[in-house]
Amino acid sequence: MPQTVFLSCTASDLEFAHWLQRQIEAQGYLTVVESDTPEHGGAKWDKEIEGTIQTALAVMVLVSPDSATSDRVMKRCAAARQYDRLLIPVLIRHTPTLPWYLDGMDVEDLTLDVERQLKHLLQRLPTPDGDLTLGDARDAYLDRATLKSAHTVAAYERSIELFLMFLGDRTGTRRLPIQQRPYVVPDAIPLAALGPNDAPIFLHFAEWLLSPSDNTADGRPYKPTTVELRLAGVQSWFQFLDDHGWLPARFPLAKARRIVRDELRARPKRSGPLQPPDHIEEVIYYYDTQPLPPSLRKAGADDERVARWELARLRNRALLHALAETGGRISEVLSLNLHDFPDRYLNRQEVLRVEVTGKGGHSYNLRFFDSLPAIRVYIQARGANLRGSTSGDVPLFVSHDPRYDGQRMSRVVAWRVVQRAARALGLRQITPHDFRHWRATQLINAGHPLDVVQDYLGHRSVETTRAYYARTDPLRVDDAAKSTPLPDPDDFM
C-alpha cells in the first residue's frame, strides 16, 4: 500500500490535524489521523491502530496543552518507540511544559514561521522503502497528484494502465530488464527494480503503442498524437515519483526522456497505407509442408508424440490459413468454436460467415472459404467425438501439449506459431496482426471498394479503412481533374 504517516491528536486539535494531513498527502503519502473522539476507541480500535503504527513510515503527535495530558497520545508515542518508528512531535499551540515522554526530542514548532517550519517538517519524512510497487505508485499519484481536471485524471489513469499492460506483454522480442522479472501482475513490480538498462522504457512504450495488437483491451495501434498524450501521462507520473524521491537513483529519468524525444523526432512521419512484411505469403503455407523433426523420424519414436506433433502441425496450418483469409484479429480467430463450423458447410463450395465480437464490442463476420479444407482436416484429425460435445463451446484451436490438452489456444502460443514459421523461412519478425494488413492490402489491390473492405475487416468507419490502407496516386487525381471538365458554357447560353 502507499506509505503511511500516522497522525495522533486530541479532538480540540482535529481541525489543524486535517490541514496538516492535506499538506502531507500533497507530497504523495497516505495519512491516517486519530483523535481522542468517542468513535475512536475500544480494544479492537487500539489493535488496528497498533498495526497501522507498526507499518507506518512515521508517527507525528500534535503537541498542545490538551494533548500534553492525553493518555491516548502517550500510548501512541510508546507504540512508535516499541516498533522503532520515526516519532516527530509537532508543536501547534503554546504549551508551557512538554510531556515527559517527549523529553530530549527534536520538536517541530509550527507556532512560529509556519511555512518555513512546515517545509522542514516534510523534509524529515523518510522516502518510501524498496517494497513500493508500481501499483502503489500509481495509486499514490492518482490520489494525490495535482491534476487540473477530472478529464486529465482519467486520461493519465488510462496512460498508466496502458503502461502496465506494456510491461506485462510477454510476446515482444525486445524486453527490458524490468520486464524479465518474475511477477504475477505488473502492478506488483517493485519500483526499486528500475535500473540503468531500463532507460529506453519510454521509447519501447511508445513503439508498443504504435504497433498493431491482437488484444482488444489495449486498443492498439494508436495515432501519433494519442501516443504523445499517453507518453505525457506516464512521464508526469514518473516525475511525480522522482519529486518524492521514490524512483531509485540508478534509474536515469532524464536520459529516458531524452531517448524517446530524440528517437521519435528523428523518425519520418508515416505516409501512405500500412504495408505488410515482404514474403508473408510464404509464411501462410509453411505448415502445409513442414517436415517431421529428425527426433521423431527415428526408429522407435514414441507414436503418441508423433501423433501430437502432427495434430499441432494441422492446427497451425489451419490457424495461418484462417488468419490470412479472414484478416481477423488473433483474439477473434482464437475465440472460434467447433459449433461455428457445421459439417454441412465444411464440404460446400460456399463462404461461411461466423460472427465475432471485435474491437470495442463491435460485432462483424469473419469469412471463410479457401481456409475451410485445412480447418476440416484439422477437425477430423482431432476425432469425431469432439463434435458430440453437449456444451456447445468446444474451442476450434486448442493446445495439444499433454499438460494443457484441449484447452483453448492462447495468444502467446499463436504468436509463437507465426514466429516459428517466419524464422524457419529466414524472414524478419512477423506477427499475427500482419496477416490482417496483408489481407486488407490484397483486397484493396484487387479493386474492391473501401466499404467492402471496411465490412470485411469489421471497421466501424470507412475512414478507418481509408486511413490505414487506401492509397491514392496523385497522377490519377490529376487525370480525374482533366477528364472531368466543367459543363460547356454553351449549354447555358
Residue 339 annotated in active site: no
Cα separation, 466 vs 453, in Å, equals: 9
**Residue 447: Cβ-neighbour burial (10 angstroms; 0-12, 13-18, 19+):** exposed
Cα separation, 182 vs 189, in Å, equals: 9
Largest CA distance in the chain: 110
Q: Which of 138, 244, 400, 459 is catalytic?
A: 459
Cα 92 off chain centre by = 46
Cα 258 off chain centre by = 23
The amino acid that residue 337 corresponds to is N
Cα separation, 405 vs 379, in Å, equals: 15
Q: Which of 244, 313, 317, 436 is catalytic?
A: 436
Take residue 387 and report the three cell numbers written for it. 463434435
Cα separation, 211 vs 205, in Å, equals: 10
Q: Which of 230, 359, 382, 400 is catalytic?
A: 359
Residue 174 annotated in active site: no
The amino acid that residue 95 corresponds to is T
User: Is 30 strand, coil or helix?
Assistant: strand
Q: Which of 313, 317, 433, 437 is catalytic?
A: 433
| Strand-pair category, 4-8 with 352-357 | unpaired
**Residue 441: Cβ-neighbour burial (10 angstroms; 0-12, 13-18, 19+):** buried
**Residue 482: Cβ-neighbour burial (10 angstroms; 0-12, 13-18, 19+):** exposed
Residue 468 annotated in active site: yes
What share of residues in the chain are helix, strand, coil (percent, to 5)? Answer: 55, 10, 35
Reference 456, options 283, 341, 325, 285; nearest CA is: 325
User: Is 354 strand, coil or helix?
Assistant: strand
Is the four-CA dihedral 322, 324, 326, 328 of positive or negative sign?
positive
First to last CA, the chain: 83
Cα separation, 345 vs 64, in Å, equals: 85
CB atoms within 10 A of CB 17: 21
- Does residue 221 have a cis peptide bond before it, meaning omega lies within 30 degrees of 0? yes
Q: Which of 204, 315, 329, 437 is catalytic?
A: 329
Hunting for cell 466543367 — which residue is that? 486
Residue 329 annotated in active site: yes
Q: In DSSP terms, which residues pair with 364 in a beta bridge?
A: 356
Cα separation, 291 vs 158, in Å, equals: 46
Cα separation, 355 vs 365, in Å, equals: 4
Hunting for cell 538498462 — which residue is that? 197
Residues in the chain: 493
Cα separation, 211 vs 223, in Å, equals: 10
Catalytic residue numbers, as ranges:
329, 359, 433, 436, 459, 468
